[in-house]
Amino acid sequence: GATIGILGGGQLGRMLAVAASRLGLRTHIFEPAANPPAADVAHRVTTAPYEDAQALAAFAASVDVVTYEFENIPTSALDLIESLRPIRPNRRALAISQDRLLEKTFLNGEGLATAPWCSVEDAADLAIALERIGTPAILKTTRLGYDGKGQARIMAPEDAADALAAMAGQPAVLEAFIDFSREISVIAARGPGGEIAAYDPGENVHKSGILHTTTVPAHIPPSLRSDAVLIAARILNALGYVGVMGVELFVTPKGLIVNEIAPRVHNSGHWTQNACAVDQFEQHIRAVAGWPLGDGSRFADVEMLNLIGDDVDQVPSLARDSGTAIHLYGKAEARPGRKMGHVNRVKPLRANSARG
């Protein structure tokens, strides 16, 4: 069987490796940090920095195709890998999702709505941007932000200096604050032949900038559900994408606004593990390995609850509920803000239950 190379050995890499293993495929993880969550389940792990060209080349040579569990991989590493093996999803998807300016430019170019935005490099830019966009607004670093890090709210013009200081000299983008009614995301996959399989949109609630729960179905009308899936499909097709993508959307009275895209399996797609025949991890491995996509339809309503930091102490009591599927990442230390695991609370659909 084939070997899948995975850049990154966190919980997403771990769950990708489990899915690959179930398909009889081998995985080789490349991860700079020692003892990553994926090391328990992968067939092979290389522990080396992305600057180690020799280790990277050996890693690439040992696999058939390379995928990744996070988007902030150094360009030099990607160049080296791409000279040896295919990278799926492709470089363009990575480049766009690494940079909020490229991302918004791409999305708007596809006719998709984003929050009104302006590029900001210094105080003068920010003053002009605030005049155009107004307050409230959010200033975000263009690169390397996650879990709400690298962001500052600007409630009134006098917050501008503090917000700019929070960017620590990095290029940023000012976004209008969207007064959304709900946040949803679509997890969708595209295969090498161009076929698309999308999961039902999930409704996301964040706590301190970190995803807290995803509830499926989202509390939105059917028309918005299909709008969300069509937006995801448009993005996948425009990028000639292969693999699973997460698309984060805001629901507003004027329709859906794209917040950001993630060119990988996504935390808000973990519910698929217990509510779909083929979950997002298997779907991603299928696409990357050139298999046909699986069925993404849902056989249950479900709520995914993230276990962050000390939340993991609730596991013994959660384990007493027979309808709760538990997923732990094998991380030894429960630091604040650290994703330790998640649970899926599944409610079978009544229409599907066998009745006399």
Q: Residues annotated in the binding site for ATP, as ranges?
A: 100, 140, 145-151, 175-178, 183, 206, 259-260
Which of positions 98-127 make contact with Mg ion (CB under 5 A)? Answer: none
- Cβ at position 264, least distance to ligand ATP in Å: 11
Indicate the residue among 31 and 175 with the shorter CB distance to ligand ATP. Answer: 175
- Using the minimum distance from each CB to ligand ATP, give the nearer residue, 61 or 146: 146
Cβ closer to Mg ion: 52 or 260? 260
Show the site string, 252-271: x = touches Mg ion by CB under 5 A, - = not: --------x-----------
Cβ atoms of 143 and 72 within 8 Å: the answer is: yes
CB 264 within 8 A of CB 98: no
61 closest CA partner among 123, 5, 109: 5
Question: What is the CB neighbour count within 10 angstroms for residue 276?
Answer: 25
Separation between Cα atoms, residue 260 and residue 97, nearest integer Å:
8
Of the pair 203, 248, the CB lying nearest Mg ion is at 248
CB of 262 to ligand ATP, least distance (A): 6
DSSP letters along 312-355, please? GGGHHHHTT-TTEEEEE---S---TT-EEEEEEEEEE-GGGS--
Instruction: Identify the CA nearest to 281 among candidates 289, 270, 291.
Output: 270
Shortest Cβ 110–ligand ATP spacing (Å): 19
Q: Binds 309, which of Mg ion, ligand ATP, none (CB < 5 to 8 A, cut-off by type)?
A: none
Give min distance, CB of 34 to ligand ATP, in A.
24
Query: What would the x/- binding string for Mg ion be over residues 62 to 91, using CB under 5 A?
Result: ------------------------------
d(CA 9, CA 12): 7
Q: Where are the alpha helices (DSSP H) in the chain?
A: 11-22, 53-61, 75-82, 91-98, 100-109, 123-133, 160-166, 222-239, 272-275, 280-289, 315-318
Please identify, using beta-carbon distances, which residue of 64 and 260 lies nearer to Mg ion: 260
Site for ligand ATP, rule CB under 6 A: 115, 138, 145-149, 175, 177-178, 183, 206, 209, 248, 259-260
Rounded to 5°, the CA angle 227-204-89 comes to 65
Q: Please report how close the Cβ of residue 177 comes to ligand ATP at its closest, in angstroms.
A: 4
